[in-house]
Amino acid sequence: TTFNVGIVGATGAVGKEIVGCLEKRSFPVGNLRIFGSERSAGKEVDTKFGKVTVELFSEGSARECDVVFLAVDGDFSLKHAENICEGEEGAVVIDNSSAFRYKDGIPLCVPEINAETTKGKKLIANPNCTTAIGLMAVWPLHKLFGLKKMVMSTHVKIAILTNSIQQTYQAASGAGQPGMDELIDGTKSVLSGERDVAENKVFAHPLPFNVIPHIDKFQENGYTKEEMKVTWETRKICGLDDDFPVSCTAVRIPTSRAHSESIVALFDKPVDVAAARKALEEAPGVSLKDDPENLVYPMPLTATGQYDVEVGRLRKNIAFDNALEFFVCGDQLLRGAALNAVAVAEAMVENGALKAKVAA
């Protein structure tokens, strides 16, 4: 069986990677359709599936597909996603925005964790990149020891005071191609002597030679939305209680496209580092990079372009009982977005939720 696949936003950073993942993972694409705005309609995109002319988006055309990937903003998804997938004739929609992530009845899926939630569903939400990357490492350990609290922290052991803190180091690609361009162009402008401090439009402050402890909007509780996404989404994806303690500080750093996360996970059961290492070694989608003596540990440089999330610096945490501490790096555009979305579609083919309307 092959599928009619649609992508909205295929020329953006995530959309391009969705095309790449469909190609590299040999997803059974019968016909690839790319939908865009008036600005991009008519342009041609070269793909392994042939040259595709970008069509002007309409809900009717998108509904003709078997599956549609939305790599656009939340407002667009809110307006169109449910209409695209409505009824028997509608398409399965895999939405990369945050529009539906917290709605009851709509699966929020990392296929290696909760693929079964997609069964019989037509609208699936793809998690935020930070959550998806971190949970690839946390999930196998949760299965082994039973997660109690999640703490992501750095060398600043504020963790002792509060019990539940997490720290992420997020790449420029989280703000799409414009974010990556601003980092590279700004760095060049400083290195060439043209400017002392880079210009900024995408980020709240210049990112080159800087770190910015601010991603997305500040909330009433003093956290940013990016930080709260980690809390909300971890609970939903892992099937944990609505008040399960997860807390995060999200920081933008001047790397291009892989996010890094320092995680302390507190468990119900006593932890054993060797057993944890084995579970991580065997976990799908995880690459154990943990040989500090030989300078092997996860880094954005080595995680970039990789499907697997790197996990390392695994050790017993000394501030809490039954706690493991580790470092995770994952490609933000792949596991954090495009790869996860394509893997959701693959899981839905497997469990019968994604069917071809017309045998191609």
* Binding footprint of ligand 2RA on the chain (CB under 6 A): 128-130, 170, 174-175, 215, 226
Rg value, the chain, Cα? 20
Structure tokens at 276: 């944890």
Answer for the pair 343, 108: CB distance below 8 angstroms, yes or no. no
- Residues 6+ away with beta carbon under 8 Å from 239: 114
Return the half-sphere exposure (C-beta side, CA atoms, 13 A cut-off) of residue 137: 32
Q: Which of 165, 171 has the CB closer to ligand 2RA?
A: 171
Catalytic residue among 85, 238, 259, 329: 259
Q: Which of 166, 170 has the CB closer to ligand 2RA?
A: 170
Q: Which of 329, 349 has the CB closer to ligand 2RA?
A: 329
- Residue with the shortest CB distance to ligand 2RA: 174
The H-assigned helical ranges of the chain are 13-24, 59-63, 74-85, 111-114, 129-145, 159-162, 176-191, 225-238, 273-282, 300-303, 339-350
Distances in whole angstroms, Cα of residue 203 to Cα of each of 8, 153, 307: 25, 23, 27
CA 75 to the chain's CA centroid: 19
Please give the Cα distance from 149 to 244 (Å, whole number): 7
80 is catalytic: no
- Taking the complex as a whole, the smallest distance from the CB of residue 356 to ligand 2RA amounts, in Å, to 30
Q: Which of 207, 266 has the CB closer to ligand 2RA?
A: 207
Residue type, 10: A
Structure tokens at 60: 């009717």
Please give the Cα distance from 139 to 146 (Å, whole number): 9
303: closest CA among 332, 282, 264? Answer: 332
259 is catalytic: yes
- Taking the complex as a whole, the smallest distance from the CB of residue 22 to ligand 2RA amounts, in Å, to 20
Answer for the pair 231, 250: CB distance below 8 angstroms, yes or no. no
Return the half-sphere exposure (C-beta side, CA atoms, 13 A cut-off) of residue 202: 20
Please give the Cα distance from 34 to 355 (Å, whole number): 20
Angle in degrees, 0-180, between the axes of helices 13-24 and 176-191, rounded to the nearest 10:
110
Q: Which of 165, 215 has the CB closer to ligand 2RA?
A: 215
Q: Which of 68, 172 has the CB closer to ligand 2RA?
A: 172
- Taking the complex as a whole, the smallest distance from the CB of residue 101 to ligand 2RA amounts, in Å, to 11
- Taking the complex as a whole, the smallest distance from the CB of residue 20 to ligand 2RA amounts, in Å, to 18
Residue 211 falls in which region: left (phi positive, over 0), alpha (psi -120 to 50) or beta: beta
- Taking the complex as a whole, the smallest distance from the CB of residue 112 to ligand 2RA amounts, in Å, to 19
Catalytic residue among 129, 238, 248, 329: 129
Q: Which of 22, 180 has the CB closer to ligand 2RA?
A: 180
- Taking the complex as a whole, the smallest distance from the CB of residue 222 to ligand 2RA amounts, in Å, to 19
Please give the Cα distance from 21 to 66 (Å, whole number): 17
Please give the Cα distance from 23 to 6 (Å, whole number): 14
- Taking the complex as a whole, the smallest distance from the CB of residue 129 to ligand 2RA amounts, in Å, to 5
Active centre residues (catalytic): 129, 259
